[in-house]
């Protein structure tokens, strides 16, 4: 969870934003799987969720699908993730 200003690594601006606020699993996983196919390889998808299960779920999703989790943070009751499409 890195969000401090002046942080070493810079998150590229997302090429697509997916808001799954209010959805419980497996819906964020399913919607993220669909949305990642709508960006080009190397591009970045930003995901917003409110499901308290998603911090663990989306790390697992990243491991299972091979798409990099560049960064994640918690902000005002929401979880925000940045994924880079790898393949």
Partner 1 sequence: MSKSDPDAPKRLALIASKGTLDFAYPPFILATAAAAMGWEVAIFFTFYGLPLLQHDLTATVTPMGNPAMPMKMPFGPESFQNFSWPIPTAVMSMPGFNSVATGLMKKTFKNKGVATIEELRDMCIDLDVELIGCQMTMDVFGFKKEDFIESANIGGAATFLAYAADADVSLFV
Note the residues at the interface with partner 1 (CB under 8 A): 22-27, 29-30, 33-34, 51, 61, 64-65
Looking at beta carbons only, is 12 or 53 nearer to partner 1?
53
Looking at beta carbons only, is 43 or 50 nearer to partner 1?
50
Looking at beta carbons only, is 29 or 39 nearer to partner 1?
29
Task: Output the smallest distance, CB 42 to partner 1, in A.
Answer: 19
Task: Output the smallest distance, CB 86 to partner 1, in A.
Answer: 13
By C-alpha distance, which of 66, 87, 84, 61 is closest to 13? Answer: 84
Task: Output the smallest distance, CB 1 to partner 1, in A.
Answer: 23
Residue 57: count of CB within 10 angstroms of its CB = 18
Q: Is 62 left (phi over 0), alpha (psi -120 to 50) or beta?
A: alpha
Which residues neighbour 13 within 8 Å (Cβ) at sequence distance 6 or greater? 44
């Amino acid at each position: 969870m890195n969000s401090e200003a002046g942080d070493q690594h810079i998150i590229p601006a997302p090429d697509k934003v997916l808001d799954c606020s209010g959805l419980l699993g497996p819906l964020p996983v399913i919607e993220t799987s669909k949305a990642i196919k709508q960006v080009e390889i190397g591009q970045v998808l930003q995901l917003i969720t409110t499901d308290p299960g998603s911090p663990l779920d989306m790390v697992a999703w990243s491991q299972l699908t091979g798409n990099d989790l560049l960064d994640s943070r918690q902000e005002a009751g929401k979880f925000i993730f940045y994924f880079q499409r790898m393949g």
